């Protein structure tokens, strides 16, 4: 059993102010594998006060001092990478191969990227008659989700520490094991007391306390659009900076000149990666009406190659969803697709027959989806693909943009210039052309209700910096 009963505050593990415990459930077995303490506003207050005290000295550390500490975090992370991967598989169900090759390694990348950016970043530059200086914003409250539990933590913690900020972190209470292990790595790396603090808890209690706390200068939140709106409202009273990465309903436009079979197969697998629990999943596949039947057959074949199973089995390509509530939400949306008249190509309602426990969902594809259906409008956060037909390029772009979300887009074409022209018209923070990889040095974030601000690379680094103008130096 995993004990996550203590919080990391002011350089030491400490008991919560009001002990309340929540079971940690393995989603593949539905068995309790540990318990996590749920914090209160009093715990956030202790952590924020520690972070405020530590900020005075940490913000003044040199580039070299911060690089040395970040380097030790990277070393500690690498040494424990297999363990971190295993913890994520246990807490949220990602297959162990995926946890090792993607979940853990991309989280490590954020610390490596913070080192790269910090090593060459110019914090001051002459401008006009003065100097533009960038300084750490202060105490940062970081609220992260369960779907990429360590990646999302690292994408915020790494640049925050690198810029000289101090941190109060609230990881997901559903998947707290990997964040606890990262806190141990940070402690062993010699991060000074108060610079990094971790308080477990739920959103309505700990998350809201972080968002509204007067000692916290910035809140960075990843989660649902509804929760992000609540965070922004709470943060407004103290006029703190808010950076958010929220929901998505990304369109994958397959143009008529693309390699249809290849594009459809890749799109199906991208939609089912991590059990479909990705904010930027290409869950709306747009195909030309003349290619509808061929696209359906290709999608049905692609679904047949997905191997559901024990996430600890290296051959498994899809594990369970994270929780009963997530399973129920996805089932309700699959049912709505059937009820609203979409054509069920593969999958469908109910747990796969070969499983009598675990939050497993059938990888599902619907065809003949119309833009007004729930499965075309709502973020499902599960392995469900909606295939929508279009008659012209302009119509495809219109359908892609007809959503309150704008996190990512995908375009497939044998003509790179044509793909680029379509990409320019998609209202989203990222657009992937022809199967391009997920580059974490490039900015990531959304338009519209998919959020504000950017993560990763230089853009993510600068989210944690204030801009100061100094005029009259040197003296004229």
Query: What tokens appear for 312 in the block?
Result: 């600890």
Mark whether 165 is an active-site residue. Answer: no
Which of 113, 173, 208, 245 does the annotation list as catalytic?
A: 245
Give the DSSP H/E element, type plus range, for residue 422.
helix 416-425
Q: Are the C-beta atoms of 335 and 378 separated by less than 8 Å?
A: no
Instruction: Evaluate whether 326 touches 382 at the Cβ level (below 8 Å).
Output: yes
Q: Rg of the chain's alpha carbons, rounded to an integer? A: 23
Q: Which of 283, 433, 291 is nearest to 371 (CA)?
A: 283
The separation between CA 283 and the C-alpha centre of its own chain, rounded to angstroms, equals 16
Q: Token digits for 263?
A: 């594009």
C-alpha closest to that of 164 among 469, 468, 466, 470: 466
Whole-number Cα distances in Å, 140 to 55, 111, 196, 402: 10, 17, 10, 34
CA 85 to chain centre: 16
The SS3 assignment for 446 reads coil
Contact of 197 with 110, CB cutoff 8 Å: no
- DSSP 8-class letter at 191: P
- In contact, 322 and 93? CB cutoff 8 Å: yes
Which one from 173, 279, 379, 455 is the annotated catalytic residue?
A: 279
Is 465:163 a contact under the CB 8 Å cutoff?
yes
Helix (H) and strand (E) counts in the chain:
16, 21
Three-state SS at 210:
helix
- 135: annotated active-site residue: no
The residues carrying an active-site annotation are: 245, 279
């Amino acid at each position: 059993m995993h004990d996550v009963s203590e919080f990391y505050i002011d350089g030491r593990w400490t008991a919560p102010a009001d002990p309340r415990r929540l079971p940690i459930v393995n989603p593949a077995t539905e068995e309790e594998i540990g318990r996590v303490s749920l914090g209160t506003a009093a715990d956030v207050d202790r952590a924020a006060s520690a972070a405020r005290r530590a900020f005075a000295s940490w913000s003044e550390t040199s580039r070299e001092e911060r690089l040395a500490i970040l380097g030790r975090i990277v070393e500690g992370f690498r040494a424990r990478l297999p363990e971190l991967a295993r913890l994520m598989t246990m807490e949220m169900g990602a297959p162990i191969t995926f946890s090792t090759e993607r979940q853990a390694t991309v989280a490590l990348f954020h610390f490596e990227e913070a080192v790269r950016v910090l090593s060459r970043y110019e914090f001051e530059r002459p401008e006009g008659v003065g100097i533009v200086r960038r300084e750490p914003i202060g105490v940062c409250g970081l609220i992260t989700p369960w779907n990429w539990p360590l990646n999302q933590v690292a994408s915020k913690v790494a640049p925050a520490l690198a810029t000289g900020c101090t941190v109060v972190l609230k990881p997901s209470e559903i998947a707290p094991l990997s964040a606890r292990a990262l806190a141990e790595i940070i402690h062993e790396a010699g991060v000074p007391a108060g610079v990094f603090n971790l308080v477990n808890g739920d959103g309505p209690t700990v998350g809201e306390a972080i968002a509204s706390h007067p000692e916290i200068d910035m809140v960075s939140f990843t989660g649902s659009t509804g929760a992000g709106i609540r965070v922004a409202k709470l943060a407004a009273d103290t006029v703190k900076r808010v950076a958010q990465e929220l929901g998505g309903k990304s369109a994958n436009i397959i143009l008529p000149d693309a390699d249809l079979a290849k594009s459809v197969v890749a799109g199906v697998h991208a939609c089912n990666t991590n059990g479909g629990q990705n904010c930027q999943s290409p869950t709306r596949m747009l195909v030309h009406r003349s290619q509808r039947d061929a696209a359906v057959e290709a999608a049905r074949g692609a679904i047949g190659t997905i191997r559901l199973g024990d996430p600890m089995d290296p051959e498994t390509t899809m594990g369970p969803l994270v929780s009963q509530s997530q399973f129920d939400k996805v089932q309700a949306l699959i049912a709505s697709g059937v009820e609203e008249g979409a054509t069920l190509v593969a999958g469908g309602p109910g747990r796969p027959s070969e499983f009598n426990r675990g939050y497993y969902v059938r990888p599902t594809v619907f065809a003949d989806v119309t833009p007004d259906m729930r499965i075309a409008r709502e973020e499902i956060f599960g392995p469900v693909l909606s295939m929508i037909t279009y008659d012209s390029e302009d119509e495809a772009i219109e359908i892609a943009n007809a959503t309150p979300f704008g996190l990512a887009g995908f375009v497939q074409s044998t003509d790179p210039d044509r793909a680029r022209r379509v990409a320019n018209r998609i209202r989203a923070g990222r657009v992937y052309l022809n199967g391009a990889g997920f580059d974490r040095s490039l900015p990531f974030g959304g338009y519209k209700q998919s959020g504000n601000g950017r993560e990763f690379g230089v853009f993510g680094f600068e989210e944690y910096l204030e801009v100061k103008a100094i005029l009259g130096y040197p003296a004229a």
